Amino acid sequence: MAGHSKWANIQHRKGKQDKLRSKLFSKLAKEITVAAKMGDPDPDKNPRLRLAVKEAKSSSVPKDVIDRAIKKSQGGDAENYEEIRYEGYGPNGIAIIVEAMTDNRNRTASNVRSYFTKHGGDLGQTGSVSFMFDRVGEIMYPASAGDADTVMMAALEAGASDVESDDEGHWIYTSDTDLAEVSAALEATLGESESAKLIWKPQAPTEVTDLDHATKLMKLIDTLEEDDDVQNVTANFDLTEEVAAQLG
């Protein structure tokens, strides 16, 4: 799981989480509002909302922000957001999936296309790169949750499909439809996870060994993530330790 620790280190060193904290809060609040509007406003009766609230709490979103987002979903003034997925290639042919929630499809499509073009990428059609990823549930526990064998046994008993561990934590994978159920089962044995969400997991990440390629790729990803309509950005790459250190 070198990819996880490298990615986390880069984000940490660049101070990216602090820089994007206010944007992150608004993105998580938007997901809560949409999840509550589409289903029941009670997280206990709405698996998508329950996971959205959990993700918000793990990112230190204040309780009043969460409550306000749920309340907003029940009001007549709640925006009608459309969920859209964009797919394309970044510099050096790295596959990228962009998930957005927007109240203006034309604006978002225009912005995303311009980001790809400006930063050496190419926006493709829906389905042009998603076949290189698996849609799965990802549950993350810190290393303190237990050793690799303990977590592996607990995960398999809970119905997980795969586990990857390193010095920084444990990543437990499930089918996309089993995420809520496996997450709940794991809480009974390992306690509350740090994160539980649906992700696009690269099947065969491309190793980026060139600093110039990595810099351009990270600039594109950063620009996409800074857009208010973009919820998540996923790319099928891994960085060598050397390049990761230089980026920091």
pLDDT, mean over the chain: 87
Q: What value does the mean pLDDT take over residues 136-154?
A: 94
Does domain 8-74 fall into CATH 1.10.10.200?
yes
Domain ranges of the chain: 8-74, 81-247
Separation of alpha carbons 168 and 158, rounded Å: 22
Q: What pLDDT is attached to residue 77? A: 63
Q: What is residue 130's DSSP assignment?
A: G
Q: What value does the mean pLDDT take over residues 18-26?
A: 74
pTM: 0.85
Q: What value does the mean pLDDT take over residues 95-115?
A: 95
Q: What value does the mean pLDDT take over residues 74-81?
A: 75
CA 30 to chain centre: 14
Burial class of residue 177 (count of CB atoms within 10 Å of its CB; 0-12, 13-18, 19+): exposed
Q: In this structure, are residues 90 and 115 in contact, taking their beta carbons and an 8 Å threshold?
A: no
Mapped to the 3 state alphabet, what secondary structure does 12-24 carry?
A: HHCCHHHHCHHHH
Burial class of residue 134 (count of CB atoms within 10 Å of its CB; 0-12, 13-18, 19+): middle
Is residue 18 very low, low, confident or very high in pLDDT (cuts 50, 70, 90)?
low
Q: What pLDDT is attached to residue 129? A: 96
CATH T-level topology, domain 81-247: Alpha-Beta Plaits (3.30.70)
pLDDT digits (tens, 9 = 90+) for 187-212: 999 998 988 889 999 998 898 889 99
